[in-house]
Structure 1
Amino acid sequence: MDEGQRLSALASLGDPVRKRLFELVRDSGNALSRDDCAAELGLPKSTIRAHLDRLVDEHLLLVEFRKIGARTGPGSGRPTKLYATARREVSASVPPRHYDLAASLLAAGVQHSIDTGAGIEESLAQVAREEGLRMGQVAGDMHTLLAETGYSPEPDGDGGTIMANCPFHRLSQDHQGVVCALNGSLLGGALEGCGDDRHVLAPDQEISHCCARLVPKP
């Protein structure tokens, strides 16, 4: 699910009825039928069906078919369409943030330090660079990687790229040294993974930007 889909899913819960319906299914502990939902909310089945369909389309609910009751086999009736909440988490932010990535790198760095006895700074730099290398190899080029990771890349007019958004903004406000060093290692690995030998990282002092930018290699 990309950022646009996450925003659409969250926006769909802005409808009060749809929000109540989602919460009903989420809190029930069991998959519910359309009839269950209509009875619980006191609304027409046609209304419930429309909202359930929207929640399924937005990947907030899952559908399963199951026969209800003890009878099985021929003559036991058709399976009932049931709804359950999807297990994935849905969150979105504007501008894009990726605190989950930062948390994963920080945890991996601490674990690496514990396992190897290396200093925490060295461990964080290594795991961040390795992850950047992997991400770069998957993305294939830096612009794609930066866009997908929430850096909002923009050409600077001189052959380089500014990163108009920091995906770790709130963390960097409180722990600038740690987060910016982590970010630098991640982007350095990404450059290598993408096979980009035309650019290098340089500092960016603009407060609203990422702390790094890409400039042409001298």
Structure 2
Amino acid sequence: MGDLRAVAALSDDVRRAAYQAVATAAPDPVGRDEVAAALGVGRTLAAFHLDKLVDAGLLEASYARRSGRTGPGAGRPAKLYRAAAEERAVSVPPRAYRSAAALLAEAVERSGAEAVLHEVSYEHGRRAGTGGPGGPGGGMGGPGELLAAHGYHPVASGGRIELRNCPFHRLAAEFPPVVCGMNLALVEGLLAGAGVDDWAARMDAAPGRCCVTVQQTKNKSD
């Protein structure tokens, strides 16, 4: 029932936009004022929807002083929000795709067939990227749009794009070498299929985000 509650919570347009505002900022937590400004709504309305998302298990709340000051005169801690780590999925009747994926990942790990998996992942990504959004070019108009269309949350900074989520988070936590390598090959294939030759996928693991980043390798004018 928890997953159904999560889906129901996102049926409201403002609430869904509030969730996207928090998820896009990951791994950094955000406050009510920031979400209200991003959505163009009042702070009270933003707080209402954020707390509903916490109740549904989609967000996690914490308290901290944004100024970093402590002790008397530091002010009250602000309520901050971040996307919950737990994934949500709903199917009726229930399906066991996650269990099947875990079994397949374990089979690949035991058999040492990672190279075959990476080859298949690259080819799948290349086919998916062909004719898709994005295409040659830099910035979010190119690889960012492409990656967003395939379930990632890309955030660009200079010549680097971080993927703030991992579509395979649970499996990656259980089988990191297998799944992270698969993910890297998939992103490489997406870029190749879309003809994006001035950006390259790199393994760049860090807490709170995808293990893969995409970095600019040359300027468009080169």
Specify which structure has the bigger relative contact order, considering alpha-carbon pairs within 8 angstroms and separated by 6 or more residues: 2
TM-score by length of 2: 0.47
Structure with bigger gyration radius:
1
- Structure with a larger share of its residues in helix: 1
